[in-house]
Structure 1
Amino acid sequence: MRKAWVLVVGIGAGLLLALGVSRAVQAQTDAPPWRESYSGLPLCLPGVYLSDPGDCLPLGPSQRLTAWARLGLTLPPRPLPASTPDPALNDSPVLIARINLPAEEPAPLYASLDDAVAGQNPVRFIDPGPLRYVSFVEVQRVNGKPYVRLRSGEWLRASPIAYSTFQGLIFHATPNHDFGWIVDLAGPAEVRSAPGYDAPKTGLVLRRYQVVPIYTVQRVGNMDWYLIGPDQWIERTFIRQVRVNPTPPPGVEGDRWIEVNLYDQTLAVYNRGQLIFATLIASGGEPFYTRPGLFQIYKKKPTETMSGAFAADRSDYYYLEDVPWTMYFDQARALHGAYWRAWFGFPQTHGCVNMSLGDAHWLFEWAREGDWVYVWDPSGQTPTDPSLYTPGGA
């Protein structure tokens, strides 16, 4: 009986062993050929991982999100810590009119409105030139034509003007990336999906003076391209950059300075290691460059009449009465409002740094005589030889 029991147990064990081997062989046969053999860490959930998470692999979407975050680009993008200054700063301290005569003709001034309308008995003349503006206290229209009376009491034919009300930004904290303004002199700014003219357009069109973040710059061919959003790139033709840098320039003493960037045509104001204001400017164009260097505001004047010519034949003569919010920093070169400028973001002056009236007013109220003005050109294209520079002008 015992032998029979042993025999049964032995047969049972053999059957179980054979069944196990059969199932193992079947499992190997049914295993899919694509089964992952890696047994390490799993992929991290999509997110930003600025340091090694340790328990997952920050690859795929996480890798891209982290690369953007290192540039300051987050999803959704964070707005700049800034606001627009008080619109009342745009108000001009004087009334301004443009002289309505061809540039080659002198402008006659008359003792009375009747003489001005009749065009007789002029008492003096303003020299010919393409840029002539006067401040006035009264305007009269005769036969549909405007005539203005100056503070001196003289009359002349001139048209009251409207001026640019563009304003920069006041900052409540220093942003962690650069930013800029769109300038569309060459037409609307079209955004591309990658740097380079071969990249597809996204369909996004940006307009003049729109503010955009700048996360990085990449050069393709002879053009710099700016990353302004996820897969959104714009060429330099259409943008002017503020290069955020709260470190004082060499030579600056104290914690207040104004930075004028000639290449980007921007102005930034720093106080106590923080960016507090930024805007677009118009600086000196060739050959009347704004001179690079470190200067100090030596004279502030609420209004200043500016005139002069640089060409031998005086064909570039300008006469500008009561230029508002003037801050001299380098001989006759000054920071000031420019009621005659329709565009900012392009060099076009005789050496001064032009701003909108609102921006110049804000800066005039903040600045003190003695404050530092750091003028530089990150491209290195502006000459630095002092012998090339005249005293400068508007």
Structure 2
Amino acid sequence: MKQIGKLLFISYIFLAMSQSAYAQEQTPPIEPESGGIVCEPDVYLSEPDNCQPFGPSAYLTELARLGITIPPRPLPASKPDPSLTQLPYFYFHLDEDYVPIYGAPGEKGPGGQQFPPGFVYVSYIDRVEQNGVYYLMPNGGWIPGKGARVGEISSFQGLVFTSTPKNSFGWAFELLPIMKSPGYNAAQTGRQVMPFEVVTIYNTQIMDNEEWYMIGPDQWLEGRKVARVIVNTTIPQGVTANRWIDVDLAEQTLAVYENNQLIFATVIASGLEPFWTRPGIFQIFEKKETETMRNNDMTDFYYLDNVPWTMYFDGARALHGAYWRTRFGYPQSHGCINLSVGDSHWLFNWATVGDWVYVHDRTGLTPTDPALYTGGAY
């Protein structure tokens, strides 16, 4: 009997303990006053002592670590003086045919000299209609109007910086849809980036075997269609002065650094295979306000009159303005670094003979064999 009573007592105690534990599980904890656990919405780059940065705070902090502020912080930059885009010349693009040079307008026949077929641009100082249309070149020769006047010279200009930005940035070189996430199959936001619009790049991600750039919260662009400046204020190995020109062949951009600060950046057009722009460390050895560039190889003839703001750094390869180009952002040249007229003018004013030019291609696709880098360039 005593044994049975003992067992009943133990069962009662066990049942009471079980009910107490169940009650504790079902009863919600008493919440402290508002703000005692979840932080007020803000950016918390270090862990706070008296709250947990959940919800909006976590989202804002994540954006802040990427460099995104609300509202977005503009780049510390502005356009250069627009007067730098002006040229004192008029240009004429010749047809790919033999074009004679005459001693006077209105002449006919073969002429004393002629331009062979090729990529030919001449400058002219007068135009007359006399038994046809003729153009007077600065050297006194006249050419018939076999071609077209250059009516559109790119007014594109890069950016001058007052301080070094915290993030990379770039220019979209065609109309691009903004996606809600990286990838070709992602939903579109309904908004677009215009050609040569500047975007700040906060993050990158590989999707569909392509690199995608985050330009804002839930905003992504296809990276291969953006000319990106990867900001790097570290002096390149081999450069012995705290001012240099950085040419990024992979991104088709140019950046200028002085006193470990980015001061200028823009989009370029470098050498197209097999006329690559050679990677390496170089120095500007000659500056010319205007230059005539030509190649006498009749299989690849070119003649470019009054090329503005030319800075030679690697044999016949130079940094210079390209009045014949209206688009930049991809390789097109015979080895030179082509810039818009305004950008070449800005760079010419800044640069001095002896300044360093650092040309690089992180993809390793540009060959470095010196034997491949001979002949002319434009």
User: Per the alignment, do residues 56 and 302 of structure 1 end up closer, same or farther by CA in structure 2, a change over 3 Å counting?
Assistant: same
* Aligned residues of 2:106 and 2:130 also touching (Cα < 8 A): no
Q: How does 1:137-176 map to 2 (within 5 A)?
A: 137-141=125-129, 146-158=133-145, 159-161=148-150, 162-176=152-166
* Aligned residues of 1:352 and 1:392 also touching (Cα < 8 A): no
How far apart, CA to CA, are the structure 2 residues paired with 1:47 and 1:375?
A: 43
Q: Scaled by the length of structure 1, what TM-score is found?
A: 0.85
Please say if 1:193 is aligned against 2:180. Answer: yes
Match of 2:9 in 1: none
Match of 2:200 in 1: 213
Match of 2:243 in 1: 256
Q: How does 1:59-98 map to 2 (within 5 A)?
A: 59-98=54-93
* Aligned residues of 2:105 and 2:130 also touching (Cα < 8 A): no
Give CA-to-partner distance per residue, 1:325-364, whole Å, 9 cap, x none. Answer: 0000000000000000111001010100000000000000
Give CA-to-partner distance per residue, 1:38-81, whole Å, 9 cap, x none. Answer: 77951112221111111111122222221221121111110000
How far apart, CA to CA, are the structure 1 residues paired with 2:231 and 2:46?
A: 25
Q: Among 109, 115, 122, which residue is 1:126 paired with? A: 115
SS of corresponding position for 1:48: coil
Please say if 1:35 is aligned against 2:28. Answer: yes
* Aligned residues of 1:97 and 1:134 also touching (Cα < 8 A): yes
Match of 1:380 in 2: 364
How far apart, CA to CA, are the structure 1 residues paired with 2:69 and 2:144?
A: 56
* Aligned residues of 2:127 and 2:133 also touching (Cα < 8 A): yes
Give CA-to-partner distance per residue, 1:251-278, whole Å, 9 cap, x none. Answer: 1111110000001000000011110100
- Count of aligned positions: 353
Offset, 1:33: 5.2
> One-letter code of the match for 1:359?
D
Give the stretch that moved more between structures: 61-70 or 383-392. 383-392
How far apart, CA to CA, are the structure 2 residues paired with 1:71 and 1:209?
A: 23
* Aligned residues of 2:229 and 2:255 also touching (Cα < 8 A): yes
How far apart, CA to CA, are the structure 2 residues paired with 1:357 and 1:141?
A: 30
User: Per the alignment, do residues 142 and 84 of structure 1 end up closer, same or farther by CA in structure 2, a change over 3 Å counting?
Assistant: farther
Match of 1:180 in 2: 170
How far apart, CA to CA, are the structure 1 residues paired with 2:176 and 2:210?
A: 15
Q: Which runs of no fewer than 5 residues in structure 2 stay unpaired?
A: 1-18
* Aligned residues of 1:71 and 1:216 also touching (Cα < 8 A): yes
User: Per the alignment, do residues 94 and 223 of structure 1 end up closer, same or farther by CA in structure 2, a change over 3 Å counting?
Assistant: same
How far apart, CA to CA, are the structure 2 residues paired with 1:201 and 1:222?
A: 19
> One-letter code of the match for 2:47?
D
How far apart, CA to CA, are the structure 2 residues paired with 1:372 and 1:75?
A: 39
Please say if 1:234 is aligned against 2:227. Answer: no
Q: Among 266, 269, 272, which residue is 1:285 paired with? A: 272
* Aligned residues of 1:266 and 1:278 also touching (Cα < 8 A): yes
Q: Scaled by the length of structure 2, what TM-score is found?
A: 0.89
Q: Which runs of no fewer than 5 residues in structure 1 stay unpaired?
A: 1-24
Give CA-to-partner distance per residue, 1:60-107, whole Å, 9 cap, x none. Answer: 2222221221121111110000000111100113222111x2x2x222
Give CA-to-partner distance per residue, 1:205-227, whole Å, 9 cap, x none. Answer: 11111000011111113100000
Give CA-to-partner distance per residue, 1:257-302, whole Å, 9 cap, x none. Answer: 0000001000000011110100000000111110000000000000
Identity %: 50
Match of 1:106 in 2: 98
How far apart, CA to CA, are the structure 1 residues paired with 2:29 and 2:237?
A: 59
Offset, 1:191: 0.6
How far apart, CA to CA, are the structure 1 residues paired with 2:364 and 2:30?
A: 57
Q: Among 38, 44, 54, which residue is 2:49 paired with? A: 54
Match of 1:45 in 2: 40
* Aligned residues of 1:282 and 1:344 also touching (Cα < 8 A): yes
> One-letter code of the match for 1:348?
Q
Offset, 1:132: 0.6
SS of corresponding position for 2:343: helix
SS of corresponding position for 2:327: coil
Give the stretch that moved more between structures: 301-310 or 269-278. 301-310
| Structural RMSD (CA) | 2.2
Match of 2:348 in 1: 364
Match of 2:374 in 1: 390
SS of corresponding position for 1:114: coil
Match of 2:311 in 1: 327
SS of corresponding position for 2:64: helix
User: Per the alignment, do residues 377 and 392 of structure 1 end up closer, same or farther by CA in structure 2, a change over 3 Å counting?
Assistant: farther
Give CA-to-partner distance per residue, 1:155-210, whole Å, 9 cap, x none. Answer: 113433121111001101110000000111xxx20010111112110011111110
How far apart, CA to CA, are the structure 2 residues paired with 1:391 and 1:48?
A: 57
* Aligned residues of 1:93 and 1:324 also touching (Cα < 8 A): no
* Aligned residues of 2:199 and 2:215 also touching (Cα < 8 A): yes
Match of 2:123 in 1: 135
